[in-house]
A and B are shown apart, each in its own frame.
Chain A
Amino acid sequence: DAMVIQNPRYQVTQFGKPVTLSCSQTLNHNVMYWYQQKSSQAPKLLFHYYDKDFNNEADTPDNFQSRRPNTSFCFLDIRSPGLGDAAMYLCATSSLRTGGETQYFGPGTRLLVL
Chain B
Amino acid sequence: SQQGEEDPQALSIQEGENATMNCSYKTSINNLQWYRQNSGRGLVHLILIRSNEREKHSGRLRVTLDTSKKSSSLLITASRAADTASYFCATALSNDYKLSFGAGTTVTVRA
Chain A residues within 8 Å of B, Cβ to Cβ: 4, 6, 31, 33, 40-45, 48, 88, 90, 92, 94, 96, 101-108, 110
Give complex CA distance A102, B50 in Å: 12
Known contacts A42-B103, A48-B98, A106 near B42 by CB under 8 Å: yes
Task: Give the size of the chain B interface in residues (CB under 8 angstroms).
Answer: 24
A107 to B37: give the CA distance in the assembly, Å.
Answer: 10
A66 to chain B, nearest CB (A): 15
Given contacts A43-B43, A108-B41, contact A96 B97 (CB under 8 A): yes
Whether, in the assembled complex, B26 has its beta carbon less than 8 Å from a beta carbon of chain A, the answer is no
B31 interface residue (CB < 8 Å to A): yes
Please encode chain B, from 40 to 68, with 1 for each CB lying within 8 Å of some chain A CB and 0 for all others: 11111100100000000000000000000
Task: Give Cα A107 to B106, complex, Å.
Answer: 18
Known: A31-B97, A40-B103, A41-B103. A102 touches B43 (CB 8 A): no
What CA separation (Å) do A31 and B99 show in the bound complex? 13
Instruction: Give 9 nearest A-B pairs by CB, closest first.
Output: A105-B42, A42-B101, A105-B43, A107-B42, A42-B103, A102-B45, A43-B101, A108-B42, A106-B42
A101 CA / B43 CA spacing, docked (Å): 15
B42, A42: Cβ atoms closer than 8 Å: no
B98 engages A108 (CB within 8 Å): no
Measured between alpha carbons, how far is A43 from B101 in the docked complex, in Å? 6
Most buried by B among A41, A92, A101, A110: A101
> B43 near A90 (CB under 8 angstroms)?
yes
Q: A45-B99, A101-B33, A103-B99 are in contact. Are A110 and B40 (CB under 8 A)?
A: yes
Known contacts A42-B2, A43-B88, A102-B48; decide if A90 and B33 are in contact (CB<8 Å).
Answer: no
Q: List B contacts of A110 (CB < 8 A).
A: 40
